[in-house]
Structure 1
């Protein structure tokens, strides 16, 4: 044993403290042990650990350090001065009177009068441990603190060496490896292989893709429009109802047309009666003969109006032009609703003749070409992908019902004969473009956001 070794109890406490340092999992835990558990060997009121690379590391009785607290700011200034004026002593007293005026003046505000500084002078661990209390320090305590400073410096140095060995590899201690060329030693390091593996993965080709909300829509539906200006009286079909060609779909309120037709027919009958009367009088009356041409023209005009009103009355019942399924949101919303000529009321589509419609947001738009692969994941069956091929992508963005703008994309399904693929099903479409490097795939959106933020 070395001269001046502490008594047996203090030796046991010292060994226990050294064991706790060896068990520390990382530098942060080691710093906590250094400032809090040393009290079992030498009593003190406050302790602080500082390194020239990293600054203030740990304080006794404090879990986390507040960087801008006045106490922390004072300790940083104190440690910076003590480190710059340190000598070769591993353990030395710090007297407030020997400090610069700006530090000595504030000493009593933050620290007790008796202070000792432990220098951690081992390679890679240049730092200081400050212990302060009200009682003077004894020679025996100096001996114990000298051993603590020595082993504490070694412990911190071991933690730094372990981190370097993790990244650079432990290498070999044989003379052949020590004298090997630098490129060979670098090539043997695990970190070199890790960097090469990451570089190879960064240039792995992957398909650039984008996700967009999608829906199954009819390919060539029959658009049923209003044939006249009027009010819808009844809707005779239900959504998703199958209809045949010639089957009634909806009916207009024909009361106004019927009354106009009755007035026109009575006017035509009156003109016919007047024409017969003038024809009988034309035998003896020249004026009646000249009026026959006028009445005949009026009769033709009135007949045309009667024919027009009859045609409107017939068009008051709208019939299906083809077989298919009715696509209609809410039939009751159309009852009593005035419509104009050409306004779309409903669609009739073949339920098995569907295609994919997706809406690509402008921020997600990528380069897409016709016939690029598309996969549809339905909300009703999200685990199974439905393959499709891109048919076209709109040139410009259009406004959607939710007031957002997006590019419309249409894709042809590769699997058409499936009874579960009915019109109206919604899901998410994955549109795949050209192949790019993996690093570009991962950084495309962050780089776009950064470019928009910085404006370059």
Structure 2
């Protein structure tokens, strides 16, 4: 029938077929065009389009049907038949530079399985023209089956080669373009990989943990309130260098001074009464008995006055040694009532710096005294500070941010010039060497045990 067309009409039809394929926006639209539009040049009984990117072919379109019933006996048989057809050109690959391959399957010249042969005689034509489509890298995209009662007319297959290549190009682009082949190791390679991976899990690595840290002094004195009172004046600023005897802060003296003034008057009155009784004792024997009581009262008032004056002297708190004053904002303390023994500030020796590390319970590892520590200061991230652990706390306690952690103290080796009290950073602590598998699975195993209770 194809020979009845003039060459110009065949050329026009081929161009129209290519244009429809190029206009397809989805793979289903392309499959519909492939299954139906070629009938004018190649009169087939039925055309079937299959995608073959997975293990088994998948039906995309059947000529003349918009949506075939999936539970029909024909489609159930077609799943097996499509796999058998795919096996017929399993070893057929496109020629160099081509992305399509064509084979002819004749029922009389092949020996399909009985179940395939039975369905073929019932539903299919005598011959099958199968065109497979591939990516440029050789990966198969799918194939189309044309059912023909007779062979392909002479010369037509060569004329349709351009249409087949256009279909393959459009299929390649609509299915995502060139895809890299996934490497699938052989069984032997998989066993070798598993053995190597298992061996890697036993490689010894050094345990490590990260924790916030601060530069503090190993020689620190607590300056606390010597008596109950109210903070009157803070004479220093945070991180100020002071020398021994410098005034640090004072307590309000108003109450004590008023009490001292009252006691001074009471002492004067008691002394006057004692003097009057002493003078009257010469003429009045009864006054001699009062001398002892009045003398004791004078001594009591004097002792009370001396105690108040001593408290007045203690309202001025001075630095007991040279160092750096460590405390919060002075405005937080001025006018604040304090009790005896309440900590106001710290006096730190800047010549003995150390690292104070807060290691959370979740990140805790086995650490011994002498373990290595590297501190990365926030202000100097490119100049790490190294040291060794001096002491560790036995019990974990909540930190200022609410995280339960252990407190560790580490020294600073070869003290750098930029290290000063109050600097913060992140410390990396190094523990013993453990297998890589334990290092990777320690946290997940601990979480699983805490969740499951095993």
TM-score by length of 2: 0.67
Q: Shift of residue 407 of structure 1?
A: 1.4
CA distance in 1 between counterparts of 2:152 and 2:450 reads 67
Which of 423, 426, 449 lines up with 2:424 in the alignment?
426
Alignment of 1:147-158 (within 5 A): none
Secondary structure of the 2:185 match is helix
Secondary structure of the 1:260 match is helix
What whole-Å deviation, never above 9, does each CA across 1:97-128 have from its counterpart, x for those lacking one? xxxxxxxxxxxxxxxxxxx99799xxxx9999
Partner of 1:436: 434
Partner of 2:316: 317
CA distance in 2 between counterparts of 1:297 and 1:43 reads 131
Secondary structure of the 1:383 match is coil
CA distance in 1 between counterparts of 2:57 and 2:314 reads 90
Partner of 1:203: 202
Partner of 2:379: 380
CA distance in 2 between counterparts of 1:375 and 1:76 reads 73
Aligned residues of 2:215 and 2:421 also touching (Cα < 8 A): yes
Secondary structure of the 2:384 match is strand
Aligned residues of 1:243 and 1:324 also touching (Cα < 8 A): yes
Secondary structure of the 1:287 match is helix
Go from structure 1 to structure 2 and tell me whether the alpha carbon gap of 1:415 and 1:82 turns closer, same or farther (over 3 Å shift): same
Q: Shift of residue 389 of structure 1?
A: 0.9
Q: Shift of residue 286 of structure 1?
A: 2.1
Alignment of 1:27-426 (within 5 A): 36=30, 39=33, 43=37, 47=49, 49=51, 53=55, 74=70, 82-84=78-80, 140=152, 167-168=185-186, 194-416=193-415, 418-426=416-424
Moved more, 352-361 or 42-51: 42-51
Aligned residues of 1:376 and 1:430 also touching (Cα < 8 A): yes
Taking only aligned residues, the RMSD between alpha carbons, in angstroms, comes to: 4.9
Secondary structure of the 1:268 match is helix
Aligned residues of 1:370 and 1:392 also touching (Cα < 8 A): yes
Q: Shift of residue 80 of structure 1?
A: 5.6
Runs of 5+ unmatched residues, structure 1:
1-6, 17-31, 61-70, 93-115, 153-158, 170-185
Go from structure 1 to structure 2 and tell me whether the alpha carbon gap of 1:435 and 1:196 turns closer, same or farther (over 3 Å shift): same
TM-score by length of 1: 0.66
- Which structure would you say has the larger Rg? 2
Q: Shift of residue 137 of structure 1?
A: 9.8
Q: Shift of residue 55 of structure 1?
A: 8.4
Partner of 1:448: 446
Aligned residues of 2:249 and 2:318 also touching (Cα < 8 A): yes
Secondary structure of the 1:358 match is strand
What whole-Å deviation, never above 9, does each CA across 1:234-282 have from its counterpart, x for those lacking one? 1111112111111111111111111100100110111011001101111
Go from structure 1 to structure 2 and tell me whether the alpha carbon gap of 1:77 and 1:212 turns closer, same or farther (over 3 Å shift): farther
Aligned residues of 1:356 and 1:413 also touching (Cα < 8 A): yes
CA distance in 2 between counterparts of 1:374 and 1:401 reads 22
Runs of 5+ unmatched residues, structure 2:
1-6, 19-25, 39-46, 62-66, 89-103, 106-127, 133-138, 169-177
